[in-house]
Structure 1
Amino acid sequence: MRSEKTTLIWVVKMLMIRTQKVMLYPNRHMAKALDRLCDYRRYCWNEGLATWNDMYDLYTIDSSSPRPSFYSVRNELVANKADWQYELSARTLQLAIADLGNAWQNFFDKTQPYWGKPVFKSKKSARQGFKTDRAKIVAGKLHLDKPHGVKNWYDIRISRHVDLSGVLKVVSIYRENGKYWASFPFEVNLDDKPQTGDSSAVDVNVGHLDYTAGVINTLPKRLRKLYQRIKFYQKQLAHKRVVNGNKATKGSRYVAMRNKLQRDYRKVANIQHDIMQKFTTDLVNDYDKIVIEDLSVKAMQMSHVASKGLQRSMFGYFRQTLSYKCEWYGKELILADCQYPSTQRCSKCGHIKSGNDKITLQGNTTHRTKHSEYVCYNCGAVLDRDENAVANLLDLI
């Protein structure tokens, strides 16, 4: 009897957290409940921070005293709970103190990008929110855990254009400009993208991104119109503050115009994020290796020459999005050194411009060449500046 050899192929799937931001449509009862939870989150944070500071001061004075931790501060707040706190979700307090503990851990690590001591939350902040790990999606609606003694409790309608598949983790809910939003982190299984064998390079510029297959416009016409309207609202608000002083911010017209300004800023962010998300998805679908420049975006924004254009072009967001998508789908992201002369090097002969021959943001005044033109004085090649930079980045593969 002939034995047949069976080969089992195990498909390894990677568990990743994919977050979706959705808009909430609560009724008047749930809107009041969300407002109370937002205020309760701020109260727990401030009370926990005050308790933490007192414990830490006592620890620095007397080393025999216990060092403050998440557990000690949480137990102190739970033991001193007031009666009104039992009408609200207990998970709000737990997660607020957990985030406070993480903030204190980051305070002792100066390598963090936004290093600093935790500060108290203000009720005047434009964004107020809370977290919960007991939220569920029931029949396409958001279901929060019902506190004790509350009669009017309903599920909350959400945007219908989102994919609600996966295991739901800790949900962040916040209120901004009178509207309610939620961030749904789903744990999903991600398979590696099929290998294409192709490579590409991306040269970032103010207003557009150049890569092997073409150009992506990051400042389309609709964005420019929104920026013009934002500039008008900012001038009007500044004028009201100059004329009326501190009383201006309390006026109804000031608040209405500020809401319009925040609305347009949100539209701008949605358009920019949509452009970057679609472009980075196309890159990881079509290419196995992608080369980008390792730019110091913060240092570049300190310059007054093109700081506004750099901010609007979202260089940092592009790199962040492309990095985690390459990690998700098993693609290789290559970072070119910030000193690599991708713009000054000739992709034909390898000659590197120096001194008065260098190309600047205004081109080359010595040889009277344009900003978008690269002329090699070694081999005589005349190239497009951005296409030449993309070709130089591809040579690093």
Structure 2
Amino acid sequence: MTTTAQQTRAEKRAAKKAKSGSVTSVWTKVGIYLVLSLVAAMMLFPFIFMLGTSAKTASDSFRFPPRVLPRDPVLSEFQGEVVPLFIVPIAGQDRSAALVEEGIRAGLFAPSDNLQETYAWPLDLVEATGATVDVVIEGETETLEIFRVPVNAEVVELAKIRNTSVGRFVDVDNPSAEGFGVVRTSQPVEEISFHWSNYSEVLGIRSFDRAITNTILVTILVVGGQIFTSIMGGYAFARLKWTGRDKLFVMYLGSIMIPFVVLIIPLFQIMVKLDWNNTLGVLVWPFFYTAYGTFLMRQFFLSIPKDLEEAAVVDGAKRWRILWTIFVPLSWPAIATLATFSFLYAWNSFIWPLVAVDIGNEDSSVLTIALSTLGGQGADQPQLIFAGVTLAMVVPMLVFIAAQKYFVENVASSGLK
């Protein structure tokens, strides 16, 4: 009997412990998802803000504090004219009113005991009492005049702080109701509106569309050349046996350690001697070969079993056929990884095009140079700069998304090996 009771208590304790552990596990997962979601939102916010700004107007782009989504003022027709709408107090209530007149001479009034509560009203509609009041403004005593001012259907005596100008607003639904307010500080009625025409405007600035075409062409040639030479070089270093192979590979791999800035001047001099400077060829031919790509393909080829190659040799296959029918199909993850990195490098290349191609040569200009020029020309129109940057980012994003599957496979297979 005692043993049965002890077993029952032990089972209850175990069940309670399991339930507690399950609750803790759920809250742990919730916390992890919240943290990951927060980090993801922080990473995506700059891109979302860039996309929103690219569809704004110039005035909306300079608005402070900045807003993510583009907005335009709502316009309304009043007495045959199209006028903007504002939220202004009329008869003690905030209403949507049309701005029908600006630059009216007015005064800024406030109770003498609370100078923070201000009212802007035309001087023609107030009455001076002849009285004055001494108030302290920013540590100094000033004498202010007292006026009778209509406020919310009542006439109250207020001190005039300073002169200003106001606009006259008329209720759209009730034209007989009108109010006054400082136009600069009045809240406009706005609606979300995307100006996709910014993109077509960018494409028409200094042959921006030609720069995109040149960039696509250069990128395709560079990526294709690097993939071809890397496959050939990687196979030669991985499978072919010849004198000095390993030493030459180490020397070739060591070229990765040389900063590109060291090679700019001698490389440019060679291009001038060959009369390739200021052409698209100068952006392609020097980058047909990559030590990183050769190293990547060599390492991947070394992981392929030799039995496959030996079986193909027994069947009478030559080296060329073995490479393209066995090694290349098995190496798609590595090729996709190499293509992705090569694409990003060629697409975003800036220093070398800046040196090798004249800025005024629009026929050989590329996207990075065009964006740099756009940054100077469109300083007063940031929405055009953001539109250009968005266009420059779309293609790399699509390429990375398309190659992501193979890229992940390459990383996973590397981990398994």
Pairwise TM-score range, normalised by the shorter structure? under 0.3
Looking at CA atoms only, which structure, 1 or 2, has the larger radius of gyration?
2
Normalised TM-score (structure 1): 0.19
Bigger helix fraction: 2
